[in-house]
């Protein structure tokens, strides 16, 4: 039986980075230092399927530039420390699929957790390209069911924060008007902050909209407002991987903070996968996200 691992889904958001430059940066990545370890991308390869779908497979490596390991001296039946260079602590498999701007990356428990992967991957790309007016981030795709459960538990919602960016290449039916607003205003990014009046609650239909979308059902009568309120649309857009959002509220007397980065969609697959099979599994998951959330190609105007 093959050992299974958890893979998280996200989208690679890049600013002032053409697709070819991104792929080249993945294949010839810089080394960065973070929290006493060195990080880089290894075993990166490009692939094109018969249907012209392209993907990039590789690993994020975490290693010690120089250190020591214990070895057994069989002759004297004792251990001894041996100096080694570039000792690898762990590696995380990933596959990047440009047509979704999607990425699936492996969670390595207590070694390379999914939040560390997202932070480090973007930093490596930026360092490779020299940080000259370029940005790269991995933003999570939210697991709708968990998000709905947490939002529905709130007695009242007191604050909504969201930061979203122009989607490419997909856009969502529910937040199409917000994508159009970004286009019309010639914006790469939009930040929204909403706060309820003192001891009040934000008038939002977020939970109902999410539940209808998750179940692929028409919106209930109370949630048919078109276009969606800008705050709700921004949270939905972030939940689909095109930004980050935070919802704050009260569960009883307790303050609760729900972040899109904390409820990332995931799937299980081989811990040591074949690149093509990992690609197929990731594409299936990303296809499912697009179908159930009615994401389509909207002709975003720029990288």
From first to last of its 303 residues, what are the pLDDT tens digits of the chain? 689 999 999 999 999 999 999 999 999 999 999 888 999 999 999 999 999 999 999 999 999 987 777 889 888 888 988 888 888 999 999 999 999 999 999 999 999 999 999 999 999 999 999 988 899 999 999 999 999 999 999 999 999 999 999 888 888 888 988 999 999 999 989 999 999 998 899 999 888 888 887 776 655 444 444 678 999 999 999 999 999 999 999 998 899 999 999 999 999 999 999 999 999 999 999 999 998 888 886 544 444
Burial 8-47 (b: 16+ CB within 10 A, else e): bbbbbbbbebeeebbbebbeebbeeeeeebbbbbeebeee
- Report the domain count for the chain: 2
Residue 302 included in any domain: no
Residue 283 shares a structural domain with residue 247: no
Residue 69 included in any domain: no
Residue 225 included in any domain: yes
Q: What is the pLDDT of residue 213?
A: 77
Residue 29 shares a structural domain with residue 137: yes
Residue 127 shares a structural domain with residue 21: yes
For residue 256, give the nearest of 264, 266, 244, 247 by alpha carbon: 247
Q: Which two tokens stand for residue 19?
A: 């697709």
Residue 180 included in any domain: yes
Domain membership of residue 292 as a residue range = 4-62+90-141+265-297
Residue 130 shares a structural domain with residue 18: yes
C-alpha distances out from residue 48 to 45, 85, 189, 222, 293, Å: 10, 35, 31, 46, 26
Residue 126 shares a structural domain with residue 270: yes
Residue 111 shares a structural domain with residue 154: no
137: left (phi over 0), alpha (psi -120 to 50) or beta: beta
pTM of the model: 0.90
Residue 81 included in any domain: no
For residue 124, give the nearest of 56, 17, 13, 31 by alpha carbon: 31
Q: What is the pLDDT of residue 298?
A: 53
Residue 164 shares a structural domain with residue 128: no
Give the integer Cα–Cα distance in Å for 120 and 62: 10
Residue 26 included in any domain: yes
Residue 95 shares a structural domain with residue 23: yes
For residue 126, give the nearest of 136, 139, 116, 113 by alpha carbon: 136
Residue 237 included in any domain: yes
Give the integer Cα–Cα distance in Å for 57 and 93: 8
Residue 25 shares a structural domain with residue 56: yes
For residue 6, give the nearest of 120, 97, 92 by alpha carbon: 92
Residue 196 shares a structural domain with residue 214: yes
Query: Positive or negative, the Cα torsion across 266, 267, 273, 276?
Result: negative
Residue 97 shares a structural domain with residue 109: yes
Residue 74 included in any domain: no
Residue 30 shares a structural domain with residue 156: no
Give the integer Cα–Cα distance in Å for 115 and 125: 16
């Amino acid at each position: 039986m093959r050992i299974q691992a958890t893979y998280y889904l996200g989208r690679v958001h890049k600013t002032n980075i053409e697709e070819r430059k991104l792929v080249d940066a993945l294949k010839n990545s810089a080394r960065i230092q973070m929290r006493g370890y060195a990080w880089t991308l290894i075993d990166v390869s490009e692939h094109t399927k018969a249907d012209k779908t392209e993907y990039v497979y590789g690993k994020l490596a975490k290693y010690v530039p120089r250190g020591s390991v214990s070895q057994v001296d069989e002759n004297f039946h004792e251990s001894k420390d041996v100096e080694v260079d570039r000792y690898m602590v762990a590696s995380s498999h990933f596959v990047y699929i440009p047509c979704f701007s999607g990425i699936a990356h492996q969670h390595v428990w207590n070694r390379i957790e999914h939040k560390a992967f997202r932070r480090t991957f973007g930093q490596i790309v930026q360092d490779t390209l020299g940080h000259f007016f370029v940005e790269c981030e991995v933003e999570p795709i939210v697991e709708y069911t968990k998000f709905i459960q947490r939002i529905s538990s709130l007695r009242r919602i007191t604050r909504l924060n969201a930061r979203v960016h122009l989607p490419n290449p997909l856009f969502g039916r529910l937040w199409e008007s917000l994508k159009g607003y970004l286009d019309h205003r010639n914006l790469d990014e939009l930040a929204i902050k909403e706060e309820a009046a003192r001891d009040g609650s934000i008038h939002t239909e977020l939970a109902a909209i999410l539940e209808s979308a998750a179940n692929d059902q028409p919106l209930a009568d109370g949630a048919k407002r078109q276009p969606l309120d800008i705050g709700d649309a921004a949270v939905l857009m972030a939940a689909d991987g095109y930004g980050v959002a935070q919802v704050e509220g009260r569960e009883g007397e307790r303050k609760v903070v729900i972040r899109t980065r904390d409820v990332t969609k995931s799937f299980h697959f081989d811990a040591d996968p074949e690149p093509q099979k990992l690609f197929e599994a990731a594409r299936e998951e990303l296809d499912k996200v697009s179908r159930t959330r009615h994401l389509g190609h909207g002709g975003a105007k720029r990288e």
